[in-house]
């Protein structure tokens, strides 16, 4: 049966509480995202039963209706015809979030524009490893230097990317953030790594009788986030009292000067020290014997994903990658996704209704590309135990990944796209971890889950 976008739009609108209950809406590649005035007027069970709807979940202040690629555009267009306005969707969604959720979303907004660059850089590292280790090629000195420019630049100068993105996120002028980032890694400052390995001496400043050691902040993440936020805040304050005739010159000067002094000399070294301690603690946790760290993380990360808090892991992964050159969290996070996919596949096969089975299966497919929300909220969570069995699969796969010691050369990609980060080193082990997690989630769900034992299929998330 051909799906009718007009009928689906009308039914979705009715289930969301009617036109008068819609505050604003937008859509992504597969989902209609809606912010409503009253969550109590939303009938989630009714939404899930609509022809053409593949699933529904509530996250980050948004009611998200899974419609699928292409069809979501048609339904969105029909809703626009009904007079539903898009408005300022981000602002409306943020108003629905708690302070911790707003903090997590801010981190995600800062790093999402940067991740594609890090993925590309990781792929370049993988290709170099494949050529050297896989095919035994020998690079000339000139070619080695060129390859290092391709693979190392983004990580060495990542403070530039982070301050630019943070400045943009917090309402400042992005180019000022970019210049501040460049100042943090300026060649006039002693290189952070050269100082760490005793090859250079820090720049020592005497401030109120205290000696402060200053270095560049190559590969540092947290200081760059702080300085981007600080500069955006200061710039907005300066614009409030600087005369308009002097704003073009005086505001950027005051913003750059104040932010650099406070960030590079005073707060920066303290935050960089804390970042180093945090990275070491995280590495220690994931390197615990018998794969304990991977088992715990692989089993619990999807609980964070339910609340949207998993975005807090992104800066940790980036920081680990820039500080150590490897990302040992990536394969464990991939195992967690594979475990959920395995559990969901078992639920799909147990479903006797062909229509529901097809709808559920369409929610499982995105998981193989690293997106678990559709299957979690449309399949595993409503059924209850499959979500827990999926977490078990993630724990087993994550523990195996830690025992094997595999690591990615980048971040941001998992499951099938994540294979790009393991080219030439650990690819087969990465695939093994996925299969083990997938198989564990599938088998445990297949053996223990019985569809007839589930009396209700209402979502637990709202």
Q: Which of 28, 249, 288, 462 is catalytic?
A: 28
The answer to whether residue 391 is catalytic is no
- How many angstroms separate the Cα of 271 from the Cα of each of 114, 227, 331? 21, 10, 28
Q: What are the strands, taking DSSP E only, across 236-370?
A: none
- 253-278 per-residue burial string, b: 16 or more CB within 10 A, e: under 16: ebbbebbbebbbeeebbebbeebeee
Answer whether 3's CB lies under 8 Å from 52's CB.
yes
d(CA 235, CA 136): 53
Answer whether 397's CB lies under 8 Å from 436's CB.
yes
Neighbours of 89 (CB within 10 A): 18
d(CA 430, CA 330): 10
d(CA 378, CA 392): 19
What is the DSSP code string of 7-46? HHHHHHHHHTT-GGGEEEEEE-SSEEEEEES-GGG--HHH
Kindly report the three-state secondary structure assignment for every residue of 204-273.
EEEECCEEEEECCCCCCCHHHHHHHHHHHHHHHHHHHHCCHHHHHHHHHHHHHHHHHHHHHHHHHHHHHH
d(CA 80, CA 86): 8
E strand or H helix that includes residue 58: strand 55-59
Neighbours of 201 (CB within 10 A): 11
Answer whether 32's CB lies under 8 Å from 82's CB.
no
Answer whether 342's CB lies under 8 Å from 437's CB.
yes
- In this structure, is the dihedral angle defined by the CA atoms of residues 18, 21, 24 and 26, taken in order, positive or negative? negative
What is residue 379's DSSP assignment?
I
Which residues are known to be catalytic? 28
């Amino acid at each position: 049966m051909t799906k009718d976008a007009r009928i689906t739009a009308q039914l979705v609108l009715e289930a969301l509480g009617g036109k008068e209950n819609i505050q604003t809406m937008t859509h992504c590649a597969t989902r209609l995202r809606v912010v409503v005035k009253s969550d109590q007027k939303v009938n989630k069970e009714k939404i899930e039963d609509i022809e053409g709807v593949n699933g529904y979940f509530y996250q980050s202040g948004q009611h998200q209706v899974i419609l699928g690629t292409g069809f979501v555009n048609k339904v969105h267009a029909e809703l626009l015809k009904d007079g539903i306005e898009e408005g300022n969707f981000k602002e409306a969604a943020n108003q629905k979030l708690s302070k911790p959720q707003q903090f997590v979303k801010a981190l995600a907004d800062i790093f999402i524009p940067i991740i594609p660059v890090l993925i590309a850089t990781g792929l370049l590292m993988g290709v170099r490893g494949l050529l050297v280790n896989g095919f035994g090629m020998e690079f000339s000195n000139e070619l080695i230097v060129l390859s290092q420019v391709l693979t190392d630049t983004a990580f060495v100068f990542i403070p530039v990317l982070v301050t630019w993105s943070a400045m943009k996120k917090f309402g400042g002028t992005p180019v000022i953030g970019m210049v501040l980032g460049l100042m943090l890694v300026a060649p006039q400052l002693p290189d952070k790594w050269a100082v760490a390995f005793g090859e250079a001496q820090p720049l020592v400043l005497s401030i109120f009788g205290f000696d402060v050691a200053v270095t560049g902040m190559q590969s540092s993440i947290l200081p760059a986030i702080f300085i981007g936020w600080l500069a955006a805040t200061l710039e907005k304050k300066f614009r409030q009292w600087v005369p308009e005739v002097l704003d073009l010159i005086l505001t950027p000067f005051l913003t750059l000067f104040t932010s650099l002094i406070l960030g590079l000399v005073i707060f920066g070294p303290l935050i960089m020290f804390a970042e180093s301690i945090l990275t070491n603690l995280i590495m220690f946790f994931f390197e615990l014997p018998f794969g304990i760290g991977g088992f715990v993380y692989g089993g619990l990360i999807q609980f964070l994903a339910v609340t949207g808090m998993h975005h807090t892991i992104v800066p940790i992964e980036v920081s680990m990658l820039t500080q150590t050159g490897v990302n040992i969290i990536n394969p464990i996070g991939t195992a967690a996704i594979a475990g959920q996919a395995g559990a969901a596949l078992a639920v799909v096969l147990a479903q006797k209704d062909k229509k529901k089975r097809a709808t559920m299966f369409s929610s499982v497919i995105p998981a193989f590309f690293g997106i678990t929300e559709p299957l979690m909220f449309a399949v595993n969570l409503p059924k209850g135990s499959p979500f827990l069995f999926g977490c078990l699969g993630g724990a087993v796969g994550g523990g195996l990944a830690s025992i094997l010691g595999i690591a990615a050369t980048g971040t941001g990609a998992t499951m099938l796209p994540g294979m790009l980060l393991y080219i030439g080193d650990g690819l087969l082990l990465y695939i093994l971890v996925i299969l083990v997690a997938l198989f564990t989630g599938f088998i445990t769900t297949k053996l223990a889950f019985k569809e007839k034992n589930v009396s209700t299929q209402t979502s637990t998330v709202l």
